Structure 1
Amino acid sequence: MTDMYFNINSGYLEGLLRGFRSGILTSTDYSNLSQCETLEDLKLHLQGTDYGNFLANEPSPLRVSVIDERLREKLVTEFGHLRQQAVEPLSTFLDYITYGYMIDNIVLVITGVLHNRPVRELLPKCHKLGSFPQLELIHIANSAADLYNAILVDTPLGPYFSGCISGGDFNEMNIEIIRNTLYKAYLEDFYRFCSTLGGTTAESMCELLAFEADRRAFIITINSFGTELTKDDRALLYPKCGKLFPYGLAALARCDDYEQVRQVAGFYAEYNACFESCGSGPGEKTLEDKFFEYEVNLNRKAFLYHFNYGVFYSYVKLKEQENRNIVWIAECIAQGQKGKIDNYINIF
């Protein structure tokens, strides 16, 4: 893919996206938001950013859940505008971005139904980037086989789902196994697709997807301690497209506790830094926070290169982090926990 052909097909959309990127909140914006005393103050400060009047029609008193919903809607609107004008292979690349949200939506609905929640209450909680027509029919499935054969076989997730069918009914354990098996197949497939695109896209996206695969491997391992999941079953859930593959994954599969996971991470400089600087005490950043910080750094770096699709993926991830930051600040204001309000992750 030459630079010339990239600009012919996708140059306008990349330029548009970089315009969107310039509107991402800076450290100064977060400092101003942190000084707010009420959610109405927060709304007023956001009006001075690229968010503009996106909360103008919301009645008082403003709720954090409403802010979260409007933030998602804005991202979905921007992404939808890009997707409608994209041509191959960018259109397929953007579709791949939505598959992760589809997986999360499926698991959310299944889990809700398992706890006797009506589907009509669950669907509004699903991320609209991962919406698809069959989602509202998931409640009729009683097992993974039913879910695949009756609902998901004709969706983009069908090929991923065929590898995690079991005959048993749904329970908390096999739902999480389904989630991680789907993500494993999805990340490996996305990695292969980006590799075939070549050029700067392959360079930036393979690094981003490798980190996502490794992060999932660490989290799966840590969350499996004290559960019925065997080491062999755990190893089957690891995506095999990260820097940990193959030796790091083999070492993780043998781990029995958190300290052994830290020892494995110690062989990889970028991950060792995350584990070494995290903690669980007051004011300390958790491992999840450190992973988010590292992800933000990788996604910022993607914008240093032109003529690549990685910026589209990175923009969505940076906006996700921005949404989490705003919601965190809003929650602290609403709950009167101003002492914790600075525990967000700066992007720029």
Structure 2
Amino acid sequence: MRLMGRQLILKVLLGSAFMGLLMLLVNQQQSPCIPSLDLWPSSQKAPTEDPLGLSSRKFEWQTRTPHPLDLRYPYPYPFLINHPDKCEGPRGAPFLLMLVMTRPQDVGIRQAIQQTWGNETLVPDVVIRRLFVLGLSLPLFAQELQALLEEEDREHGDLLQVGFLDTYHNLTLKVLKGLEWMAQYCPTAHYVFKVDSDVFLNPSYLVKQVLQPNGPLWPNFITGRIYRKSVPFRIRGHKWYMPPELYPQDRYPDYCGGPGYVMSGPLALRILTVAQRIKAIYLEDVFVGLCLKQLGVKPTPPPPNTFLMSRRKYDHCAFHRLVLVHRIQPQELLQIWPDFLRANITC
């Protein structure tokens, strides 16, 4: 009941926030200037202790958003909600650290994941840790939404909130800050899995068939749905538009599709290091591909047809032979999960 109440409050607040966002976008259209969205000026260091506190400065935005293709990185965006001891425990370093990309308002989605593939105890004898990575909500009603997030985190202890606006075009920053958290608080994790929240995931197949806990740890390992020789979209207004001035080449490097890819811990640390020297672009999967190219690392092909980037109708046996299926909504996930867990010797 408490969760339903939070979701109802979120719907009311976000409905009102929609009109505020429209006004903000209209205001941006009327002005050519594009000021910075950063919470702290570049001349100041981001606060290092309790940046939420009781101060309202964390919600002081400029009234226009920055250009979505101009990301500032590296930059000391703070961890506003953090769990530095998440990887500690008597069982040692996690075999798999799951960084789930989510938005502040996605309370129901996070609950569905917690009850299904995000359950850290699904794979026996393997230590799995899960964090939901999110940014800040739009400034309108931000304090009210933040209070709901803090309540949710007190209940589940699995949110990692970073101090920048949570938008699609800031996804690269979310992934990099997730890797920064891993480097600082969980550097001995064997594998790191970046995954979106609108997927079906089969953790058992991922761990046992792809990562193989009893096998060697390959330091340059990364796998997922591999895209080769992809062409940048040059049509303005397209979701994945890439202006030539930002990326002039006519082909992207090899990369793993953004809905979900897994890499070894050592490679994640090397990607984070080289990311400090490459101009960040908002297509996070392509950006990771650029880092891999700089490192001279090629993605490893997974078992064929196990990372599906499009929807597939649920089938018990077929889903047991998959790692990931994209575009699965939380209601559908909750419906199919009990059957997925059911043993079936006919498969």
TM range (shorter): under 0.3
Bigger share in strand:
2
Which one has more relative contact order, counting CA pairs under 8 Å at least 6 apart? Answer: 1
TM-score, L = length of structure 1: 0.27
Bigger share in helix:
1
TM-score, L = length of structure 2: 0.27
